[in-house]
Amino acid sequence: MPAPYVQLPLSRRSFLLAATGTGAALALTAAPARADGRKRPFGRYGSPAARRTPKTLYVDPGGQGDFTSVQAAVTAATGSGWTLVLAPGTYRETVAVDRTRTETTWIGASENPRDVVIVYDNAAGTPKPGGGTYGTSGSATTTVQADGFTARDITFANDWLRADHPEITGTQAVAIKVQGDRSAFLRCRFLGHQDTLYADSMALGTFARQYFAHCYAEGDVDFVFGRATAVYEHCRFHTLDRDVDFTPKGMVFAPSTAGANPYGYLAVKCRITSGAEDGAYKLARPWVPSSDTTARPALVVRDTWMGPGIDAAEPYTNMSSGFPWQDQRFAEYRNTGPGARILVPENRPQLTDEQAQLHTRETYLGDWRPYARRR
């Protein structure tokens, strides 16, 4: 997606620490960290000497697991039904889960997502070793194509910074790209700037269902985007401050829902906060990619609190004048907070009570019920 923006300098280390600070108000602390340093890096989830199941693998950068990198464990876990337990640490690597590795679960052993961080720093315009550039999809730190993927208590990040690379204009830098059906993320964090969380599908005619519960996502430009059928429940979306002299400084959502798909993005019982000044951000803009000009982006935000960072008078904007947001499927219902005020009714389409009954996690996810799982 477009936008070569300028950002104040921020070191990679301070980026991750700052992100930790912005997430402090979240309900992400879960249980106290029980992965006891080097003594018990896998907490209550066993160890290579006391394996929970034959298909459980342990990853620890300190060397007490089966592998020291996540990708090495993924490569070893061929087929279906594997569980990876990740010890606390920073895993600086790119990770890809191809479509053959179905029904995989990743668990952050400490049960605190701040402790387990998978991070890298490619951008769309980053040169590839063999020539060319990575592009938006190729910039992803983590890519998940397999169906039935679940992650708990993990941070997915891309700490590429515009200020470090003024020569690069392709500034999209994806933390995670998710394409599989039945992909669930519970108490996870997604950190980046532009295009942080790419909730997508494998193909235009594939309606991949994804569920994000009690998660935290931050960024600036279109930082939650793609064509998946995705439900965000009890999540927090945080817009970052930016050193630019124009508004909007960015947008939270940029769905690219296929025209044939009745359901796109649903945010329910969420919070939208901001590190920028009041009214500096749009709630959303529609993404109609050149590869699918028949897309009709769909977004419903309901029962959600919006802080003053969202432009209440004009919460939506266009990505392309040829595909105005008014022609897409954007709607709201029972939202609260200063950013949710209905100042110009025609700029904030509202669902009726009857219409709202069609926009629930149950209707979006169908026979898949990840919200009913027990730990």
What tokens appear for 354 in the block?
Answer: 């009857």
| Order of strands, sheet of 176-178, starting from the edge strand that comes earlier in the sequence | 95-97, 142-144, 176-178, 197-199, 224-226, 250-255, 281-284
Catalytic-labelled residue, pool 66, 195, 200, 311: 195
- The pLDDT value recorded for residue 39 is 82
Backbone angles phi, psi at 164, to 5 degrees: -75, -20
What is the rounded distance in angstroms from the CA atom of residue 338 to the CA atom of residue 308? Answer: 5
Q: Is 181 annotated as catalytic?
A: no
What tokens appear for 130 in the block?
Answer: 């063999």
What is the rounded distance in angstroms from the CA atom of residue 340 to the CA atom of residue 162? Answer: 31
What stretches of 148-248 adopt beta strand conformation (E)?
150-152, 155-158, 176-178, 183-186, 189-191, 197-199, 209-213, 216-219, 224-226, 229-233, 236-239
- Cβ partners under 8 Å of residue 149, min gap 6: 97, 102, 103, 104, 105, 106, 178, 180, 182, 183, 184
- The pLDDT value recorded for residue 4 is 33
What tokens appear for 92 in the block?
Answer: 């600086």
- What 3-state class would DSSP assign to 246? coil
Convert 88-143 into a string of H (helix), E (strand) and C (coil): CEEEECCEEECCCCCCCEEEECCCCHHHEEEEECCCCCCECCCCCECHHHHCCCEE
- Give residue 269's Cα distance to chain centre: 17
- The pLDDT value recorded for residue 374 is 55
- In this structure, are residues 302 and 266 in contact, taking their beta carbons and an 8 Å threshold? yes
- The pLDDT value recorded for residue 38 is 67
Q: Is 195 annotated as catalytic?
A: yes
- In this structure, are residues 190 and 216 in contact, taking their beta carbons and an 8 Å threshold? yes
Q: Which helix (H) or strand (E) holds 274?
A: strand 271-274
pTM: 0.92
Q: What is the mean pLDDT of each run of 10 residues along the chain (375 residues)?
A: 38 44 35 59 97 98 98 98 98 98 98 98 97 98 98 98 96 98 98 98 96 98 98 98 94 98 98 98 98 97 98 98 98 98 98 98 98 73
Beta bridge pairs of residue 40: 36
